């Protein structure tokens, strides 16, 4: 008998005395206690009040300054803080071929290098004394500058912030410090197997010449000059290439006037071009990079679809069911919950706007069970193509997307991020209004069709980082080995020198 049930029962008996005794039937111990008053037997029996939610309309928050700059405003007075974000189009996507990392370095130096009227140390001291946080960073296709300050310090903070964006000085000493710090981080590129996995996967999927996969080396970091930074700064940082959003404690009219004044005289160039699509085509197969760790780290997948593809919503649902839906997903159930082969296992769909992004599944498992876990993941992917999902699975996935939909807009900064991103990427205007209806309309057949079209195990790559000698043979019970994939043909990729990214001699990773 279950120990806990018996002890629990004992306690309940002691607590409730003789009357309680009669309530319990000894032969059905596990159902011993009746539901307490007013508690439904199952959660499905609870009746919920309806929750009406309509997505906010971007137009209601959108303003245009006289110079044409678009500003989204969402005031709220709960906290005495103002959160200002300037989103510039273009980021890593603008890196020149001879200097990967330049856009990120430019963003970093705009923040760190002082302005033409104030040295970097003085500027940082002023901002810190005001308790104003400023960050400037480049992502793949955007560069974002954020300022968060106490409402009482807004005027002074805005002055310093805009000076940074308009007239950065790229102080030589700060540049030297940044170069040195980046070099130290490059040296650590092979320390953690996950970073090797991410780097090599992008190289496989997007090709070594595309900005998604290129990375700085010691040589390109050393070559970054103030002239190159200034040139990149001119391309990115101007009103013709930016959208502003402000949330927090402010008056709308005053804010518009403040921004107009702060931006006046800032030369307005043209917005940068859309990012270019990669030309490389993923070569299906089994790949391995050496790293001496007690766990193999694995990712498998292929290029998939663009964000505005009509198949994206069914694909999102498919992905929920397959591996994105946490414990409710098939991969988590089979690989973690049933077999205990991994702590984390999931699939990810990353649609890009300008070209198809990738679909990938990933996990980590002890060496002996890497092959078994990989086999189960592949089987689950194949099943999506061969069988219809169950009604229950599809309904759960739909309910999850529909019920969590309001979270897309849950805070004002989050809502404004959506508006700005939609405007830059020209998302169809009715996207959010019709999102839930489109989710509701998806059928099981749609999912199968999408799987057949976009998820072909034969066209996928499998990348393993780890100790191949111990991974390849598979598990003790011989349920799987790495020979089960692509006929056992494996392409051993070299570990790369962390500074130069040139291949290292073969045994370096052992």
Partner 1 sequence: MSACRPVVFAIISLVLAGGFLAAPQAQAQQVAVEEFALDNGMRFLLVPRRDQPNVVSAGWVARVGSVNERPGITGISHFFEHMMFKGTDTIGTRDADRDAKYRAEQKAIRDEINRIVWTKQYDRLKRGEIADAWDPANDTQELRVLRGKLDALIRAQQGRGEGGPEAATIVKDEFDQVYTRAGGSGMNAFTSQDLTCYFITVPANKLELWAWMESDRLHNSVFREFYSERDVVHEERRLRTDSTPTGRFQEQFDAMFWESCGYSWPVIGWPSDLNSYTFEQAMDYWNVYYRPGNLFGIVVGDFDPVAAKAYITRYFSRLDPGTKPPPPVVTLEVDQIAEQRMNAEGDVPPAVEVRYHTVPAGHVDSYPLDMLSELLNERTGRLYTGLVEGRAIAGSARTASDTRKYAGLFSFEAETRGDATPEQLEQAWYEELAKLQSAEVPERELRKVKNRVAAGNYRRLENNMSLLIQLAFFETLLDWQEINNGPKKYEAVTAADIKRVANTYFSPANRSVAVYRRTVAGAEAK
Asked if residue 408 binds partner 1 (CB under 8 A), the reply is: no
Size of the site for partner 1 (CB under 8 A): 97
116 binds partner 1 (CB under 8 A): no
Query: Considering only residues 400, 421, 425, 470, which one is a binding residue for partner 1 as defined by CB under 8 A?
Result: 400
Is residue 12 close enough to count as binding partner 1 by CB under 8 A? yes
- When the beta carbons of 174 and 210 are compared against partner 1, the nearer one is 174
50 binds partner 1 (CB under 8 A): yes
From 8-16, 91-99, 206-214, 348-356, span contacting partner 1 (CB under 8 A)? 8-16
Per CB under 8 A, the list member of 131, 222, 276, 281 interacting with partner 1 is: 131
Q: Residue 80 Cβ, how far from partner 1 at the closest point, in Å?
A: 7
Q: Count CA atoms closer than 13 A to 450's CA, side-chain side.
A: 23
Q: What are the phi and psi torsion angles at 375 (to 5°)? A: -65, -45
Three-state secondary-structure class, residue 233: helix
**Site for partner 1 contains 80 (CB under 8 A):** yes
By C-beta, is 81 or 461 nearer to partner 1? 81
76 belongs to the binding site for partner 1 (CB under 8 A): yes
Residue 377 beta carbon to partner 1: minimum distance, rounded to whole angstroms: 15
DSSP output for 396-450: HHHHHHHHTGGGGGSSHHHHHHHHHHHHHTT--TTHHHHHHHHHHH--HHHHHHH
Question: φ, ψ for residue 268 (rounded to 5)?
Answer: -100, 110
Q: How far is the CB of 128 from partner 1 (least distance, A)?
A: 5
Minimum CB distance to partner 1 smaller for 301 or for 498: 498
**Residue 289 main-chain phi, psi, to 5 deg:** -120, 130
Binders of partner 1 among residues 15 to 44 (CB under 8 A) are 15, 28-31, 36-44
439-458 binders of partner 1 (CB under 8 A): none
508: β partners: none
Report if residue 403 touches partner 1, rule: CB under 8 A: yes
Q: Give the residue, chosen from 21, 57, 308, 326, that forms a contact with partner 1 under the rule CB under 8 A.
A: 326
Torsion of CA 327, 303, 428, 394, to 10 degrees: -30
The interface region with partner 1, picked from 210-218, 381-389, 396-404, 445-453 by CB under 8 A, is: 396-404
Residue 50 CB partners (closer than 8 Å, separation 6+):
none
CA distance 398 to 437: 10
The closest of 251, 73, 87 to 155, measured between CA atoms, is 251
Q: Provide the minimum distance between the beta carbon of 196 and partner 1 in the complex, in angstroms, as a whole number.
A: 11
3-class DSSP assignment, residue 339: coil
By CB under 8 A, the residues from 146 to 205 that bind partner 1 are 148-150, 173-174, 177, 180-181, 183-185, 187-188, 190-193
Residue 348: φ, ψ to 5°: -135, 135
Q: Whats the size of the chain, residue-wise?
A: 510
The kind and range of the H/E element at 155 are helix 154-166
Cβ closer to partner 1: 116 or 121? 121
DSSP letters of 458-473? GG-EEEEEE-HHHHTT
């Amino acid at each position: 008998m279950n120990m806990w049930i018996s002890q629990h029962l004992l306690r309940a008996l002691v607590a409730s005395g003789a009357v309680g005794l009669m309530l319990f039937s000894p032969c059905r111990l596990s159902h011993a206690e009746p539901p307490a008053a007013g508690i439904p037997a199952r959660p499905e029996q609870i009746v919920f009040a309806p929750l009406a939610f309509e997505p906010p309309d971007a137009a209601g928050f959108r303003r245009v300054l006289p110079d044409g700059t678009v500003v989204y405003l969402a005031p709220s007075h709960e906290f005495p803080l103002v959160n200002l974000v300037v989103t510039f189009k273009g980021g890593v996507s603008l890196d020149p071929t001879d200097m990967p990392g330049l856009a990120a370095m430019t963003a970093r130096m705009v923040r760190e290098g002082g302005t033409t009227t104030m040295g970097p140390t003085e500027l940082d001291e002023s901002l810190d004394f005001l308790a104003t946080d400023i960050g400037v960073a480049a992502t793949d296709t955007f560069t974002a500058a954020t300022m968060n300050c106490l409402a009482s310090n807004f005027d002074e903070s805005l002055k310093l912030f805009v000076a940074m964006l308009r007239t950065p000085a790229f102080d030589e000493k700060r540049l030297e410090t940044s170069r040195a710090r980046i070099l130290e981080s490059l040296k650590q590129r092979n320390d953690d197997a996950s970073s090797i996995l991410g780097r090599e996967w992008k190289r496989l999927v997007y090709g070594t010449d595309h900005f998604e996969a290129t990375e700085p080396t010691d040589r390109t970091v050393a070559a970054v000059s103030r002239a190159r930074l200034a040139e990149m700064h001119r391309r990115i940082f101007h009103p013709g290439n930016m959208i502003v959003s402000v949330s927090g404690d402010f008056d709308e009219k005053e804010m518009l006037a403040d921004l107009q004044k702060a931006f006046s005289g800032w030369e307005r160039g043209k917005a940068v071009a859309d990012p270019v699509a990669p030309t490389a085509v993923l070569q299906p197969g089994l790949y391995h990079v050496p790293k001496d760790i007690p766990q193999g780290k694995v990712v498998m997948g292929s290029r998939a679809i663009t964000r505005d593809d009509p198949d994206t919503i069914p694909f999102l649902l498919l992905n929920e069911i397959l591996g994105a839906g946490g414990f409710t997903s098939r991969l988590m159930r089979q690989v973690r919950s049933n077999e205990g082969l991994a702590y984390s296992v999931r699939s990810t769909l990353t649609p890009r706007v300008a070209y198809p992004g990738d679909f990938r599944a990933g996990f980590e498992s002890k060496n002996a069970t890497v092959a078994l876990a990989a086999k189960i993941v592949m089987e689950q992917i194949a099943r999506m193509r061969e069988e219809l999902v169950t009604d229950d699975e599809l309904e759960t996935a739909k309910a999850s997307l529909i019920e969590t939909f309001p979270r897309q807009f849950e805070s004002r900064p989050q809502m404004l991020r959506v508006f700005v991103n939609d405007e830059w990427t020209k998302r169809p205007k009715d996207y959010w209004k019709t999102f839930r209806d489109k989710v509701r309309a998806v059928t099981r057949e749609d999912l199968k069709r999408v799987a057949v079209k976009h998820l072909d195990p034969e066209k996928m790559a499998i990348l393993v980082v780890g100790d191949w000698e111990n991974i390849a043979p598979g598990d003790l019970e011989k349920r799987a080995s790495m020979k089960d994939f692509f006929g056992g043909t494996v392409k051993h990729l070299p570990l790369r020198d962390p500074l130069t990214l040139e291949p290292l001699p073969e045994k370096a990773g052992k």
